[in-house]
Chain A
């Protein structure tokens, strides 16, 4: 105890400090405010404030026909908006009783898994950035560009995609889209090689391991009680995945495994996401193979037969009476939707993304609620960081994959 410093009574070092981390802070990657009570560098207490970019989507949706709600879902988790779009289409299809052809399901799976990869690669490389290793981020980011080029080829936009329609896609995938997909999947020069490189940099890196192991851990029981879903819940050791538990869009036709961790700390979350990217790559490969098996007229199928909800092709609108009527009714939002209540969920990139839709038989939903996984698991954040260092709080936040758009809806 000879080198222990004895501080005089009332000295400033004995007091705790209040630190306002956010709302805009370079380390929070979004609009989050946390008021931290610090003892030195140790977090004693944390209070989170949310709602800085709240846009009242649920209210807006009550005045919109179904197809106009798709762009609202884009803006929930904007790192993987195609999954949100597909989840919404699937909810509508469940309510309307639309059955999609297998080829549409497989094409959707390709897009959804690409979105999952693009989301996970951002999250994992940002964990790297926040722990002081910038290079991984640069390696992976160029491949998000390739994914966005595929989106662009399919739907015309990149970040907020508004991809697909109720019943399928707006147009068939072009050959360019498949070429870009092959370029992305190429084992030598494509994403698999780069992901391998990324793992070489991080997974067994002593500094990275010391930095993330034991940082922001949560037990399986607490995680379930806090409503964790997705990779964060699986990192804590619960093998819950909507794709397996309640298969949608023909996920039951695919062979993949669900990685689980056991401590629920930053390192486990990192590993689970990395492994999920490998699984997603394998699913995309399988789906692409299945898509190639369709020949002749079957290879041209890209939407279901649901004329009252699926916008007809423009050339038909100009030449066919029926198509013109449907076109008008859909665009003007004049189609009544059947009364009913439906809950449908998909495995979003950071958890179970649910849509609870109540229809009273009008043209717009009577009530629409989004179950945003971020919003629900963010409330565990103060508990996760309590007792840890300030720098651990930052890295815990990035490894939870919090997306401000999803938090605030």
Chain B
């Protein structure tokens, strides 16, 4: 029976200490990988007979503006359907050169998800067959889910933002 420990062991055997920040929040194995390894990790997890992570559940980005040099995180959720175990891994990239390898060759489902991530965060997926905006209009020239775009007009003075979380 596959478990988090076995997956961690198999991955460390293969990739050594390049994979860092091992955690298990709410039971899901989570780690961070260097961004040029993301495809190799997914291929390894996909191909190995005992790992069989054949299902890409979800793919999205997170913006950490204070994390200099690694502002954007791309988060992958993979699922092994036969042993019913999920893992999550992240790759961080510089916002000025947000190039990450595309997973479309391995998972067809990554196509729209990567386009969505590009659309909102500007992550440039290298090798994607059709990387263009998907939900927003084509003419848009910024990436709206980045943190520098506040949801409300910041010049409003009639409302105290202290009440609603971060100001």
Contact A356 B60 (CB under 8 A): yes
Contact B165 A333 (CB under 8 A): yes
Contact A343 B144 (CB under 8 A): no
Contact B81 A59 (CB under 8 A): no
Residues in A371-391 with C-beta less than 8 Å from chain B: 371, 375-380
Known interface pairs A225-B109, A369-B58; A343-B88 also in contact (CB < 8 Å): yes
Contact A340 B25 (CB under 8 A): yes
Instruction: Check: A300 CB closer than 8 A to any chain B CB.
Output: no
| Complex CA distance for A362 and B77, rounded to whole angstroms | 24
CB of A55, distance to nearest CB on chain B (Å): 10
Residue of B nearest to A61 (CB): B151
CB of A382, distance to nearest CB on chain B (Å): 11
- Please indicate the chain A residues that have their CB under 8 angstroms from the CB of B108 in the complex: 222, 225-227, 379-380
- Please indicate the chain A residues that have their CB under 8 angstroms from the CB of B56 in the complex: 227
The secondary-structure label for the interface of chain A is: mixed
Contact B164 A352 (CB under 8 A): no
| Complex CA distance for A63 and B147, rounded to whole angstroms | 11
Residues in B82-109 with C-beta less than 8 Å from chain A: 84, 86, 88, 107-109
Instruction: Check: B19 CB closer than 8 A to any chain A CB.
Output: no
| Complex CA distance for A402 and B102, rounded to whole angstroms | 26
Contact A342 B25 (CB under 8 A): yes
> How many A-B contacts if CB must be within 8 Å?
106
| Complex CA distance for A226 and B111, rounded to whole angstroms | 9
**B38-82 toward A: CB 8 Å interface, digit per residue (1/0)?**
000000000000000011111010110000000000010100010
| Complex CA distance for A363 and B25, rounded to whole angstroms | 20
| Complex CA distance for A226 and B56, rounded to whole angstroms | 9
Residue of B nearest to A371 (CB): B58
Residue of B nearest to A379 (CB): B112
- Please indicate the chain B residues that have their CB under 8 angstroms from the CB of A408 in the complex: 135
Instruction: Check: B126 CB closer than 8 A to any chain A CB.
Output: no
- Please indicate the chain B residues that have their CB under 8 angstroms from the CB of A56 in the complex: 144
- Please indicate the chain A residues that have their CB under 8 angstroms from the CB of B164 in the complex: 63, 65, 333, 363-364
Instruction: Check: B20 CB closer than 8 A to any chain A CB.
Output: no
Known interface pairs A50-B134, A408-B135; A364-B113 also in contact (CB < 8 Å): no
Known interface pairs A60-B151, A333-B165; A240-B81 also in contact (CB < 8 Å): yes
**B109-149 toward A: CB 8 Å interface, digit per residue (1/0)?**
10111001000100000000000011111000000110001
Instruction: Check: B2 CB closer than 8 A to any chain A CB.
Output: no
Residue of A nearest to B26 (CB): A342
| Complex CA distance for A60 and B133, rounded to whole angstroms | 20
- Please indicate the chain B residues that have their CB under 8 angstroms from the CB of A342 in the complex: 25-26
Contact B58 A224 (CB under 8 A): no
Instruction: Check: A231 CB closer than 8 A to any chain B CB.
Output: no
Specify which of B62, B77, B120, B133 is in contact with A358 (CB 8 Å cutoff): B62
Contact A51 B151 (CB under 8 A): no
Known interface pairs A51-B136, A59-B144; A333-B58 also in contact (CB < 8 Å): no
CB of A160, distance to nearest CB on chain B (Å): 21
Contact B151 A334 (CB under 8 A): no
Contact A371 B151 (CB under 8 A): no
Instruction: Check: A183 CB closer than 8 A to any chain B CB.
Output: no
- Please indicate the chain B residues that have their CB under 8 angstroms from the CB of A240 in the complex: 81
Residues in A324-347 with C-beta less than 8 Å from chain B: 332-334, 340-343, 345
| Complex CA distance for A354 and B30, rounded to whole angstroms | 17
Instruction: Check: A400 CB closer than 8 A to any chain B CB.
Output: no
| Complex CA distance for A377 and B55, rounded to whole angstroms | 13
Contact B26 A376 (CB under 8 A): no
14 A-B residue contacts at CB 8 Å?
A50-B112, A50-B135, A51-B133, A58-B145, A95-B26, A227-B57, A227-B108, A245-B84, A340-B26, A343-B86, A345-B57, A363-B164, A371-B58, A375-B113
B residues with a Cβ closer than 8 A to A are 25-26, 28, 30, 54-58, 60, 62-63, 75, 77, 81, 84, 86, 88, 107-109, 111-113, 116, 120, 133-137, 144-145, 149, 151-152, 163-166
A residues with a Cβ closer than 8 A to B are 50-51, 54, 56, 58-60, 62-63, 65, 94-95, 222, 224-227, 238, 240, 245-246, 332-334, 340-343, 345, 352, 354, 356, 358, 362-364, 366-367, 369, 371, 375-380, 408-409
Q: A51-B134, A362-B165 are in contact. List 14 more A-B contacts (CB 8 A).
A: A63-B151, A222-B108, A225-B108, A226-B108, A245-B81, A333-B165, A341-B25, A342-B26, A352-B57, A356-B77, A363-B165, A375-B112, A376-B112, A378-B112
